[in-house]
């Protein structure tokens, strides 16, 4: 009497694993690029927030803030605690100011993004892919 065996052969299982590995090899880099793009978009949004908050600070105090903690100290509604501490969404934010101007940089921490951002009292957000951005770099589009 012959018995029938149910199940998959080793070859069939190896083919399935190979197909899954190929799909993962294609999908994972795209996922990482999407995550980095999201972090960059969040950094741009934070730069807009900081630019607006610095202008609000100037209107209330008559001078620009000298650092991020000045913004939170005057009015906690201008920037939240996380942004006032200088670290958000994989980017490190640094604001320096004098009476009539300010500079703010957003630099990615490790491999969390590929672009660096800059904004000053003009309100124009600029980007650099090669290192810390400054006032002469390309404006974002």
The predicted-structure confidence for 81-102, as pLDDT tens digits, reads as follows 899 999 998 999 999 999 899 9
Cα–Cα dist 4/52, whole Å: 74
Which among 49, 58, 115, 60 is positioned nearest to 83, based on CA atoms? 49
pLDDT at 30 > cutoff 90: no
Calculate mean pLDDT across residues 51-72: 92
Alpha helices in 1-141 (DSSP H): 10-61, 68-74, 81-84
Cα–Cα dist 68/57, whole Å: 11
* pTM of this structure: 0.80
Q: Band of the pLDDT at 49, cuts 50, 70, 90?
A: very high
Cα–Cα dist 96/105, whole Å: 9
The DSSP symbol for 105 reads E
């Amino acid at each position: 009497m012959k018995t029938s065996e149910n199940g998959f052969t080793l070859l069939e299982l190896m083919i399935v694993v190979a197909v899954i590995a190929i799909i993962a090899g294609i999908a994972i880099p795209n996922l990482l690029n999407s995550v980095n793009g999201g972090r960059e978009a969040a950094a741009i949004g934070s730069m807009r927030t900081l630019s607006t908050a610095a202008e609000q600070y100037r209107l209330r105090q008559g001078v620009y803030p000298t650092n991020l903690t000045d913004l939170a100290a005057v009015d906690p509604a201008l920037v939240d605690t996380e942004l006032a501490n200088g670290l958000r969404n994989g980017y490190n934010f640094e604001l320096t100011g004098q009476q009539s101007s300010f500079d703010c940089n957003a630099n990615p921490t490790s491999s969390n993004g590929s672009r660096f951002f800059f904004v000053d009292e003009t309100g124009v957000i600029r980007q650099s892919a090669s290192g810390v951005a400054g006032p002469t770099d390309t404006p974002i589009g």
